[in-house]
Every structure is written in structure tokens, then in C-alpha cells.
Structure 1
Amino acid sequence: MIQKKVGKLHLDPPKTLVVGFALIILLGAFLLTLPVSTVDGWGLPWLDALFTATSATCVTGLIVVDTGSTFTLFGQIVILSLIQVGGLGFMTIATLFALLIRKRISLKERLLLQESLNQISIEGIVRLVKMILVFTAITEATGGLLLSLRFSFDMPVGRAFYYGFFHAISNFNNAGFDLMGNFSSLTHYVEDPVVTLVVCTMIILGGIGFIVVSDVFEYRRSRRLTLHTKVVLFTTACLVIIGTTLIFILEFNNPKTLQPLSPLGKVLGSLYQSVTARTAGSNTLSIGDMRHSSLFLIIILMFIGASPGSTGGGIKTTTFATLIGAVIAQIKGKEDVIFFRQRLLPHVIYKSLTVAVSGMFLVVMMTMILSITEGGAEFLAILFEVTSAFSTTGLSMGLTPSLSPIGKMMIILTMFAGRVGPLTIAFALAQRKQKEYYRFPKGKIMIG
């Protein structure tokens, strides 16, 4: 009887990830409700605490209360811890502790790591985790020190040090939480090249995916890059350049964003908004004051998001590239999708289509629901907020703090689905695949 009960409690890797993230969120929400977490000594109301914990763990950055002025040091540390665990994945953190106490990593734990890091196989998975931990520590330390030095010109050294590392960790994990107060994010540093370039670099390094970073480091030895790495780097570069150029053009004469800035400030502001739209969430321009054309462009960039196996969300750069490649192949009358003289397998194209359509369906459904529950809100603001939640970006037009309780719950669910992944949730809830013993005859339909 005991063995049967234990067997019923067995969770496969996708279900374990879903349950694990949910438990971390609930623990974080409980800690944020404690009086010691808030400046007023009352703690956050449960729904706001759940929203904040979900946003931090899912490295989104959407907030219903201002982080810098609402939370005590304890509350901010809780949020920062949730960001780090959520960004790297709780299995990566668990592996760190296992390595510290010299515990052997079991096969089940390796399978969980494979699912968490979106890897094809478990071969070399522990070595990859070690690389991730070292790379993260070095990157966050370097970014933290550079930002600390810059902030030390504007505030006491102790606070500058804390602010520097908080924002380094937050942006490397593509979370976007900030301590600047009054929901201002990094708008005071829009023309500052140090803050802009350091934070943009942190966002990109956290968003290209750890497998790409590992592949680039191995290049000196192997003298070759995998197809995945080539597609990620090429697509990322194209999206950053195109996004920067279009925002620069669209916002150039906007008196509330780029117009008052110097030529260098215009370029830095455009670059930052293009990079941060790829699931980071901090901003140097006032998002709510941007033109509708720019906001729609940011919605597209947010939906695409970062790359697989990274701290970011969205449908991912490789998914977007695969779909564009499939469209181009169909237009040219070719059967295969070719990238860098290599052919993609059909199942990759089908999976890309499934991820994109699943994400689009979730965004559309949640936008329709919020259009009902938040009747007085502008439609573009609702679509922007939902896409930001799904892609775990965290950019906001200012709607989030005024959401109704139902609206907050819908955004919480969207953030959770966006971080864990629509496919992971679907696989976690679905039954095991059954073998097909027969196939139906072919049929034809007209397309287009």
C-alpha cells in the first residue's frame, strides 16, 4: 500500500518544474506578507505579495507597488533571491548546493536539469551547470562593480554598492526590478553611457542562453560554432539593430522621449529600449509616453523574447527565426528550411509553430479577459501588459498598479505560464503519449 501511494506521487520532470516554481512563489509570497518585509510594518496584502513573488520568480518585473520605497532591506533581499532562483532555475541552485556538499547528482536530477535548461540530452549536463554558475558569478560581479562605481557619484558608497549589485543581478536575470523609486526605473540615466552599456550587456548575456555562452567559450578549442549558436547570435544582432533603428526613427521628434536628448542620448535611449524589450523590463525612456507605433514594435520584440536556455522569456529567437525561415522557403518553393548550409528537421518546424501559436493564443485569451475586467483601460495598454507578462519582460504602460483583483490574478497566471513555458505546462498536465497503431488516409485542403 505504501509503495502504491509513493508511486502515485511520482512526478515526471515537466510536472516537477511546474510544482517547484509554484512552491517557490508561494514561499516568497508568504515572506513578503510579513511585517518585516515592508517599510510601513504591515506587510503586503496577500494578492499583492503573490503578484510580486510571481513577478520576481518568473523574472518578469511587473510591479503593483514601488520596490524601492515599499520594501525594507529584508523584503528587497527576498525579491532579489527569488530573481536569482527564478532566473537560473531552482534545479540549478539545488545542484549548486549538492556540489558544495559533494553530493552525487542522480539520474533523476540530471533529467530535471535537462528539462529546466531545455537541453537535448543529459550528456555533459553537470559540466554545463558548473559553467553556468561560474559565468553567472563572474558576470554579476563585474556588472555589479561597474554599476557600483557609477552610482557612487550619486549616492553614499554603501548604498551605491548595494544598488549596483541589485541592478546587476536583476538585469542579468532579465527581471527589471529596480530601487530608484517612484516607478522611475533607470530613466535618470538615459544619457549615461556607463549605465546604458553595462546594463544592456548584462541583459544580452543573460538572454542569449547559457548553451550559447558555453559554445562561444569552446570556440578557441573547437574552432566551430553549432547551428543553434549561429542562429541565436545572428537573430539577436538583427533584432537589436532593427529595434534600435526603428525606435530612433519613430521617437526622434517625440518631445516626451528622445527629442530633448543629445544625439548620443538619442542613440543610447533607442538602444536601451530595443535591448530591454527582449524580456528585461527596466527602461530609460518613459514607456507610457512613447508613440503607439513604437509601443507596437516593443510588443513584437517582447513576444519574440530571448533565446532558449536563458533567463529570458518569449517564444524565443530560434522559434522566430525558424518560422521566418519556413515562410521564406515556402515563398521560394523549397521543401527544406536552410540555415548556414544546414537543413532543419521537420519536427523542429512543427515545434516552433506550436510554441508560437500557443503563446499567441495565451496572449489573445488573456487580452480578451482583461478587456472585460479592466473596462476603462486602453486596449493597447492591456495588450502591452499581457504581452509583457507572457514574455516575462516587465515593461509597463502604467496599467499594472491599477489592475483589479481579477486582472492581477490573470497577469499572475500569464507570468507563470510565460516562465515555465506553455508547452511544459501542457506536457505536465497531459497524459503520456500513446503509440499509434494505425494512420488515417491522406486528405487535401486548400490553403491561402
Structure 2
Amino acid sequence: MSYRHRIVRPLRHLPHGRVIQLSPPEILLFGFALLSGFGTLLLWLPISATTPLNWHEALFTATSAVTVTGLSVIETADLTLFGQWVVLCLIQVGGLGFMTFAALTLVLMGMRLPLYQRNLIKESLNHTSFSELMTLVRLVMVFALVAEAIGTLLLALSWVPRFGWSHGLWVSLFHAVSAFNNAGFSLWPDSLSDFVASPLDNLVITGLFIVGGLGFVVIAELLEWRRTRRLTLHARIVLHATLWLSLGGTLAVLALEWRNPATLGGLETLGAKLQAAWFQAVTPRTAGFSTLDTGALTDPTALLTMLLMFIGAGSGSTASGIKVTTFVVLLLVARAFIRGNAQPVAFGRAIPQETVIKAVAVALAGMLLIFTCLFLLTVTESGKPFLDLAFESVSAFGTVGLSRGVTADLSAGGQLTLIVTMLLGRVGPLSLGYLMSTQRDKGLRYARGSVQIG
């Protein structure tokens, strides 16, 4: 069946029910694109903003919300309550995953979800068994709502006394949902800079986006740990990598920014500096909030932040990037090569060859996407500093939302470049992972050839 025919008529009627004919990567891409288009129409309405948005501002904001990025060409505070609700709903749908919502919707509509399409949900949630797939989907929904509710209540303890009941509860809900979904949207122009020395606010916000970035399979294993007393290799890698990247990043930020008067050097107490360094170290893993001026970071810290944004968080989570498991597998491959081992090994388990190939493919695709985005930005934004454009490119790919202050000044062409990068950065790794997991052995073998590497 032709590609055009499948796009025009995506549903096929069979004796046992209706089946979607689109491939899983197409469903992901078109699903996010349709949600982005629908959000654009809503944000384009005069009731959505105090000053009506033009089409590319509305498109950029909607795409950033659906892909849970957080980059913005407008101030979220300039949206009306209706517009802010639109952004919040787009964040929730995009964060929990379009395919999760699509699977539940299809089941409720009585449609049959074919095996090969259930495989996409399995891949996107990094689940390896179909038997408990719907149980995991329900866990995603329930855990997310409970975590966001707890986060809202804890933030309300700090913000209701400061802003009053009505506004305090609203900003608490908005930031709790944005944090858990690793979106980075804030209702204040300077993000969370006013709360840089608030232990409760720092703990709640970072706790929400770290938990949201672990991945729902890891969360499910942690909830079952008291009964099983076991964790899979995937969960152990994610937890260890999250811990060491967070601690190592915190120490690096402390060392690099300690004397910078525009960041840590401008804070009065040791507690404030430690909290700010911790926040700055963990937020690049696609959270997007900030308590320091990102544009004032030194060049080494900016480069470190770009690396953390590229790595991202856990598979099957609300975060993006190439994922910490991909990064760890690449490190293990390098270690195995240096030691002369036949296979990379972690925690006494060998990493399969197909996992290695998948990690290399995902990392290379990510680097190519960032390079393409940066190349186009250097063409459309010739007067902007190169580091700022590189930072925006990595932030868009990792759907992070951190910015050095140039996003709002980009031309329409530059904004469209970031829009495409955000979409591909969100759905690309999932689509590539699906294609790698469903490849077929054609039974054809070629003679080996020699290629010099290094």
C-alpha cells in the first residue's frame, strides 16, 4: 500500500475490527504534529494572550509544550489563564506520551491495537513484555497524577502564603505538572531565580523532575523492590548513572562558578550556593528550570550543561536526550575495547550486540540532528554568538528548555528550525529505537571486509 494512501486513509476495516495502517514512527510524528497544530490554533485565539500571538509564536509555544521542551519566544506570564491552561494540558499530554494516551483511547473506542503497534508502546516505555503492558500504562497514569498532586501540595506550603490561595494554588499546580513532565515552563520571566535559596522549593522541583526522568519501568521496579528485592540491569544502570551524573555535575558547577559574581559568586550563603549548584547540575537532564542566569554561566559550565542536555535522562520517561542508558552503554563499549574484552559488561551482565548497535545509532542520529540544526541557525542567525546558537540547538534536541537568551530574538526561519528539532528530538529516538527493535533478518550474509578505524 502506498505511503500517500496510508496517510489519506489511515484506518482499515477488517472483519475483526478497525486497524491503523500507519507505522509506529509515523503515528508518533503525526500525533505530536497534530497536537502541536491543535495547540497552535488554541493559542492563536485572542482569549489566549494579553497581546494576541502571531502564527509562529503560537506554533513555537505549542510545539515546545507538546514536546515538553520549555523554550519560548514569549513570556508564559503574558498568556491569559486560558492560554496557560492550554500550555499545561499540552505539557501533560506530551509528557506522559502520545502513544500512552492513544493506546487507551483506541481501547475505549473499541479499536483493535495490532501487535506491531503495541510494540511501539512497549519500546517507548522500554518494557520488554506484552503481558503486563496495560498494567504499566495504568501505572504511568496513576503515578504521574499522584506525584503531581503531592508536588502541588508541597509547593503550596511555600507559595500560598506568598501569593494567596487562588494564585498560590495555580502556580503550584502549574509548576508541579511542568516539573514532573520535565517541561521547564514557568510563570515567571526569570524562571525560579527568586527561590534559589529556598530549600523546600528546590527539593520539590528537583525531586519531581528527577523522578519523572527515571522512566516508568524503573519506577515500577522500585515500587516492587520491597517484595522482589531485585532490580534489572536497566534499572541499576539508570539509578547509578543518575546519581553519579548529579553529584559529579554539582561538584563541577561549584568549581567552575564559585567566583562568578553573576551566578554562585553573587549568592551570600553557602547553603544558597550548594542549592544553586545542585539545581544547575540536575536541571539540564531535560528539566529546563533555572535558579541561575543561564546566559551568565562561564563557557566551561555552558559546555558541561550542553553535555548533560545531550545525555538526557532515563528511557521511557518524560525526558528526552539520547538517554543515560545509551551514554553508559557507549562508555562500556569504550572500556571493553581498551581492556581488550569481547563484550561490554555491567554489573556482571554482558550487553547484547543489538543494544550496542542501537546505542551507537541513537547517539549518532542525535549528533547529526544537532549539527544540522546548528548549521541552519548559523545561516539564519548570522549575527548571534556561536556558543549561544549551539546551546539552543542542544537544548531543542534534548527538549530541555534552557536558553542563553537568544530564543526570543530568532528570526521566523530560526524558530521553525528549532520547532522541527524539538519534534524530531522528542520522537526521533523512540522511532529509531522501534526500527532497530523490529528489523528483520533477511537471511543474506556478505563476505567480511576490512575497514581501518582511528
Same fold (TM over 0.5): yes
Matching residue of 2:321: 314
Partners of 2:165 and 2:292 in 1: how far apart?
Answer: 26
Q: Please tell me whether the aligned partners of residues 277 and 395 of structure 1 are also in contact (alpha carbons under 8 angstroms).
A: yes
What are the within-5 Å matches in structure 2 for residues 230-379 of structure 1? 230-261=236-267, 262-379=269-386
CA positional deviation for 1:138: 1.1
Q: Deviations over 1:313-340 (max 9, x none)?
A: 0000000000001101111111111100
Partners of 2:380 and 2:130 in 1: how far apart?
Answer: 44
Matching residue of 1:38: 49
SS at match of 1:123: coil
SS at match of 1:152: helix
CA positional deviation for 1:118: 3.6
CA positional deviation for 1:202: 0.3
CA positional deviation for 1:368: 1.3
2:30 corresponds to 1:19 = yes
2:55 corresponds to 1:49 = no
- Tell me: CA distance 1:286–1:416, structure 2 relative to 1, closer, same or farther (3 Å): same
- Residue 224 of structure 1 aligns with an amino acid whose one-letter code is R
- Tell me: CA distance 1:9–1:203, structure 2 relative to 1, closer, same or farther (3 Å): closer
- Tell me: CA distance 1:103–1:148, structure 2 relative to 1, closer, same or farther (3 Å): farther
Q: Please tell me whether the aligned partners of residues 355 and 423 of structure 1 are also in contact (alpha carbons under 8 angstroms).
A: no
SS at match of 2:163: coil
Q: In the comparison of the two structures, how many residue pairs are matched?
A: 439
CA positional deviation for 1:119: 2.8
Matching residue of 1:141: 149
Partners of 1:426 and 1:138 in 2: how far apart?
Answer: 29
Q: Please tell me whether the aligned partners of residues 123 and 430 of structure 2 are also in contact (alpha carbons under 8 angstroms).
A: no
- Tell me: CA distance 1:132–1:427, structure 2 relative to 1, closer, same or farther (3 Å): closer
Matching residue of 2:21: 10
What are the within-5 Å matches in structure 2 for residues 418-437 of structure 1? 418-422=425-429, 424=431, 436-437=442-443
Q: Deviations over 1:376-429 (max 9, x none)?
A: 11110001000000000000000100001110010000000111124616978x
Q: Please tell me whether the aligned partners of residues 26 and 53 of structure 1 are also in contact (alpha carbons under 8 angstroms).
A: yes
2:66 corresponds to 1:63 = no
Given the alignment, which residue of 165, 169, 184 partners 1:176? 184
Matching residue of 1:393: 400
CA positional deviation for 1:217: 0.7
Partners of 1:48 and 1:425 in 2: how far apart?
Answer: 29
Matching residue of 2:15: none
Q: Please tell me whether the aligned partners of residues 95 and 105 of structure 1 are also in contact (alpha carbons under 8 angstroms).
A: no
Q: Please tell me whether the aligned partners of residues 49 and 83 of structure 2 are also in contact (alpha carbons under 8 angstroms).
A: yes
- Residue 145 of structure 1 aligns with an amino acid whose one-letter code is L
Partners of 1:425 and 1:78 in 2: how far apart?
Answer: 30
Task: Normalising by structure 2, report the TM-score.
Answer: 0.92
- Tell me: CA distance 1:425–1:441, structure 2 relative to 1, closer, same or farther (3 Å): closer
Task: Normalising by structure 1, report the TM-score.
Answer: 0.93
CA positional deviation for 1:16: 1.2
Q: Please tell me whether the aligned partners of residues 120 and 434 of structure 2 are also in contact (alpha carbons under 8 angstroms).
A: no
Segments of structure 1 that go 5 or more residues without pairing to the other structure are none
Q: Please tell me whether the aligned partners of residues 417 and 425 of structure 1 are also in contact (alpha carbons under 8 angstroms).
A: no
SS at match of 1:259: helix
- Residue 268 of structure 1 aligns with an amino acid whose one-letter code is Q
Given the alignment, which residue of 413, 420, 430 partners 1:413? 420
CA positional deviation for 1:104: 8.3
Partners of 2:106 and 2:225 in 1: how far apart?
Answer: 29
Partners of 1:256 and 1:141 in 2: how far apart?
Answer: 35
Q: Deviations over 1:340-375 (max 9, x none)?
A: 000010110111001001101111111111111101
Q: Deviations over 1:253-312 (max 9, x none)?
A: 000111122100000000001111100101000000110110000000000001100000
Q: Please tell me whether the aligned partners of residues 362 and 432 of structure 2 are also in contact (alpha carbons under 8 angstroms).
A: no
CA positional deviation for 1:10: 1.4
Given the alignment, which residue of 89, 92, 109 partners 1:84? 92
CA positional deviation for 1:134: 1.3
Partners of 2:114 and 2:135 in 1: how far apart?
Answer: 14
SS at match of 2:99: helix
Q: Please tell me whether the aligned partners of residues 156 and 169 of structure 2 are also in contact (alpha carbons under 8 angstroms).
A: yes
Matching residue of 2:82: 74
- Runs of 4+ aligned residues of structure 1 deviating over 6 Å after TM superposition are 101-105, 425-428
Matching residue of 2:453: 447
- Residue 209 of structure 2 aligns with an amino acid whose one-letter code is I
Give the aligned CA root-mean-square deviation in angstroms: 2.3
- Residue 421 of structure 2 aligns with an amino acid whose one-letter code is T
- Tell me: CA distance 1:208–1:32, structure 2 relative to 1, closer, same or farther (3 Å): same
Q: Deviations over 1:121-173 (max 9, x none)?
A: 42211000111111111110000111111012321111000000100000100
Segments of structure 2 that go 5 or more residues without pairing to the other structure are 13-18
What are the within-5 Å matches in structure 2 for residues 58-207 of structure 1? 58-68=67-77, 70-95=78-103, 106-107=113-114, 110-180=118-188, 183-207=189-213
